[in-house]
Amino acid sequence: MKTRALKLILTTLALSAAAVPANASALNSAEQTVTEAATEPDTEIKEYTGYFFADGDTRYLTSKDITDLTQQECCFAKNEFYARHGRKFQSVELQDYFGSTFWYRGSVEPEAFSDTVFNDYELKNIVLLQDRELELGGGNQYSLNEPGYDISLARTWNKEQVIVRAGDLPMDLPDSFWFSSGAGAWGTEIELHQDGTFVGEYHDSDMGSTGDGYPGGTVYISSCTGSFDEVTVLDDYTYSMHLNSITYDHTPGEAWIDNEVLYVASETYGLQPGSTFYLYVPGTPVSMLPEAFQQWNVAGMMLKSDILEGYAILNVEEDQVFWSWY
C-alpha cells in the first residue's frame, strides 16, 4: 500500500516575542533539506471518503453499487446528495447523521433549496436510490425519526482505521492556521490544502539584539516547502499525518544584514520532520482534545464552547497547536 500525501501551505505571521527565545531554532541545523524515508506498507489501500458515494456527482451508480445497502442507508445515501449542497434537514435523524460527518456544512434552509443545483449524475442517482429504498420498504419510504433510531447502523465506513487519499480531506478547509504565544513576536501561519505539499514561513524578532552594522535589531525568518504523508483517519473528528520532509529556502544559520537589521535564517518553529500531526475538524468535543489545547488557548478566545468551532492542528510530540480563523 502506498502512502498518500497531504499538503499544507504555510505563510508567516509576524507577532512580537517571546515565550520562546528569539534564536531558539535559528542555528540548530546546517542541513537545508531534511527527509525521512517513506515507508511502503504491505497491505492494500482502503479509501475513506466520509461519503456513501464520493463520486456520485461524476458517475451513474448501478444496482450493483447499492445492492448491499439497507433501507436506512438508501435513505441516507439519497439525502447525501442534498447534504453535499448544504441543505439543512427538518428530519432530526438526517440532521443528526449528516451533522456527525466531518464534511457537512448545512447552510441552506429546506424551503430555499433548489433541485437545479444537481447535475444529471446526481439526479439519476437520487432516483436509483429512492427506487431501491421503496423496494426494500415494500413500497414505503424509510420511516425517519422513529423513537430509538440509530444512525451508527448506517456508518460502516468509519468503523475502522483506514488510510485515506489527500483528496478525501474536507473541501472547506480554512485559509490559514496559526501558531503563536499570543503574547509577543513570533509566529507561524499555516494554510491547509487537499493536495499534499506545503510552503511556509516563520518569523521572530529581537530588536534588542544589535551589533556593528545592525543597530535595528535581529529578525529570525524561515521559508520552506515540504510534504506530509501517512494520512490516516483516526475517528470522526481526527486525521493523523506525518511530516515527511522539509526544505528551506535559506540554510538555517545563514545570516545577512539588510537596512541595518540582521536577518538569521531559522527552522520553522512547530514543524519538525518525523513528527506526527493531528487535524481536528469543527464540531470536535472539547472534552476529546488533548491538554495542549488549553495551554495554547490564546487569551481564552479559541475554546469558547463545548465543541471546537474551527479546524485545528496539533503537533503531537511537541504539544503545539495551530488554530484556524473562524
What is the pLDDT at residue 86? 93
* pLDDT of the chain, 326 residues: tens digit per residue: 333 333 333 333 333 333 443 444 333 333 333 333 334 433 333 444 568 888 899 999 999 999 989 999 999 999 999 999 999 999 999 998 888 776 788 889 999 999 999 999 999 999 999 999 999 999 999 999 999 998 877 754 433 334 444 446 666 777 788 898 766 678 998 877 776 678 888 999 998 999 999 999 999 999 888 888 887 877 778 888 888 889 999 999 999 999 999 999 999 999 888 889 998 888 888 888 888 888 888 656 678 778 888 889 999 989 999 988 65
148-151's contacts with Cβ under 8 Å and 24+ in sequence apart are: 149/93, 151/93, 151/96, 151/97, 151/100
Closest CA to 84 of 102, 66, 61, 103: 103
Q: Where are the domains of the chain?
A: 7-45+166-324, 63-159
What is the pLDDT at residue 232? 80
One CATH from 3.30.70.20, 2.70.98.10, 1.20.58.1690, 1.10.760.10 for 63-159: 1.20.58.1690
pTM: predicted TM-score of the whole model, two decimal places: 0.52
What is the pLDDT at residue 114? 96
**Distances, alpha carbon 276 to alpha carbons 17, 54, 150, 230, in Å:** 26, 27, 34, 9
What is the pLDDT at residue 195? 67
